[in-house]
Amino acid sequence: MTRGTPTATARVERQQPAHAPRRADPCTAIILGAGGDLTRRLLLPAFCRLAASDLLADDFLLLGVDRQPLDDAGFRAGLRARIGGEEAGAISDAAWEKLTPRIRYVSGDLTDPTAYAAIATKLAELEQDHAPEHRNRLFYLAVPPVIFDPIITQLAASGIAPRIESCDARPWVRIVVEKPFGDSLESAMALNEHVLELFDESQVYRIDHYLGKETVQNLLVFRFGNSIFEPLWNRAHIAHVEITSSETLGVETRGRYYEKAGVMRDMFQNHLLQLLSLTAMEPPVTMSADAVRDEKVKVLRSVRWLKHGTVDENAVRAQYAGGSIGGQLVRGYREEENVAPDSVAPTYAAVRFLIDNWRWSGVPFYVRSGKRMARRLTEIVIQFHRPPMLMFGHETRGALAPNKLVLRIQPKESIALTFEAKTPGAALSLTPEIEVASVAMNFCYSDVFGGSVSPAYETLLLDVMVGEATLFTRSDEVEASWRIVDPIIQRWERFTSKKIPTYRAGSWGPDESDDLLREGGAEWRNPDGD
């Protein structure tokens, strides 16, 4: 028989870093749309912490561009009053004071070509005392996707962001584009074509903040830096893989956006398929940007496409209804602001993906994401095959839990391995029935490395400024992801009624999602606590 799940915490020797983080190249970071929420919540806090850690070059400057008619002092004051948020945490006065002398501002409508003349004038003024090789420029498009196209056009036409064929050339020009990159395969291909007509692929950094998380990056080290795991990482030993990204929040103020996007565009095409590709990829030849991204693209191209006739049996969608989160009553999706009362936009989806290659043939990857769920959680669960026979007595048949490896991305970043162990009691030779329990070995990042891990945007912004593209998505990777999710989105949008399954807010999703796994003899891991 089995008991509960005790925990055995693994002892880990903390090692000092082999070298200090590389400092950023000298550059001017131009934030287009600097008055928006992204700048306040994530970009400015990241730049503040980089400045406080002395990782910004002495010649670093930050130029904000937005519609408001402000001067430098007014822009700085507005930022300081609003900077930070739950994701970024509080920004200390000391960190702010390290950055604020470097902040400048220019006013302009980014859809108007005359704004780029003003930006050019400001840049010439800011860079006049810098050595030519220090006049590097980082353009960050912190703007709605609908105006990506005209901004890209004007950056090139104005001459402030010239095409540079070599990634080693100085000064460099780099352009950071936020998700979503397109809203379908067709639009993503058109946007890629337009961008690559004007800029070299090496200049374009398509950002996905999930890839900046330490635990996502550690997935590669865990797999390829430990010889005890990689030999087991295949269909011979793994029964299935679960990838979960759940939120307790609803759509909040993003109802209008969510009505068009839904959970597939918002989470699957980017974040979740990134986690799938990193989990399933082959070892790269080197840890260079192109070598890693080549292997990720191979995986995405191996994912079996779901056609209209197979979507319904492999994908589940649903919408949250009213319920309770943290003891507080919350309304359903259709009652949210800017949401149609008969909306069928999915706030939850679960999909069974199959990867048609030698390593993963026959191993289902169950991927789910939803809003207003029981917990905020992102994790990857590797479930191994059960033992071929059980010799520990009749009561253990069908009761022993399979071994699981749980890679927690957020919160409380950790790795846990569960396995079966005999509980204290009579010797094996004295009784035909023994008690067996699942135990877990846990590695927690904060216990070993202290404090919290670096926020994703700090990592990614520093990578852009040193020219490290490994954690950014390439054009072929974006298109490969859209090829996977497009048939699902089209099926749900073109062949639908006004009815959609619902799940209670505060639950783990609809019953249909559980049924999807039961068909394969599996069940979701729905943790109650930490």
Phi, psi of 377 (to 5 degrees): -160, 135
- For residues 266 and 400, which has the higher predicted lDDT (pLDDT)? 266
Residues 6+ apart with CB under 8 A from 14: 448, 449, 450
Per-residue pLDDT band at 250 (split at 50, 70, 90): very high
**Residue 430 pLDDT exceeds 60:** no
pLDDT, averaged across the chain: 88
Domain ranges of the chain: 28-171, 212-390+408-418+473-518
Among 493, 267, 249, 281, which Cα is nearest to 368's? Answer: 267
Per-residue pLDDT band at 37 (split at 50, 70, 90): confident
Task: Clarify whether 271 is annotated catalytic.
Answer: yes
CA–CA gap between residue 127 and residue 51 (Å, rounded): 19
Per-residue pLDDT band at 16 (split at 50, 70, 90): very low
Please state which of the four CATH numbers 3.90.870.10, 3.40.50.2030, 3.40.50.720, 1.10.357.10 is assigned to the domain occupying 28-171: 3.40.50.720
What are the tens digits of pLDDT across the range 46-88? 999 999 999 999 999 999 999 999 999 999 998 888 776 555 4
Per-residue pLDDT band at 421 (split at 50, 70, 90): confident
pLDDT for 453: 60
What are the tens digits of pLDDT across the range 349-380? 999 999 999 999 999 999 999 999 999 999 99
CA–CA gap between residue 237 and residue 239 (Å, rounded): 7
Report residue 510 as tokens. Answer: 């609809």
pLDDT for 2: 45
**Residue 514 pLDDT exceeds 80:** yes
**Residue 162 pLDDT exceeds 90:** yes
- For residues 253 and 276, which has the higher predicted lDDT (pLDDT)? 276
Which CATH code is given to the segment(s) 212-390+408-418+473-518?
A: 3.30.360.10
CA–CA gap between residue 154 and residue 161 (Å, rounded): 9
What are the tens digits of pLDDT across the range 272-319? 999 999 999 999 999 889 999 999 999 999 999 998 789 999 999 999
Per DSSP bridges, beta strands 436-444 and 7-9 are: parallel
Please give the model's pTM, rounded to 2 decimal places: 0.90
Enter the DSSP assignment of 168.
T
What are the tens digits of pLDDT across the range 435-477? 777 888 888 887 887 765 667 899 999 999 999 999 999 999 9
Per DSSP bridges, beta strands 28-32 and 61-66 are: parallel
Of 134, 271, 308, 385, catalytic: 271
163-169: average pLDDT: 85
The C-alpha angle with vertex 262 and arms to 261 and 266, in degrees rounded to 5, equals 70
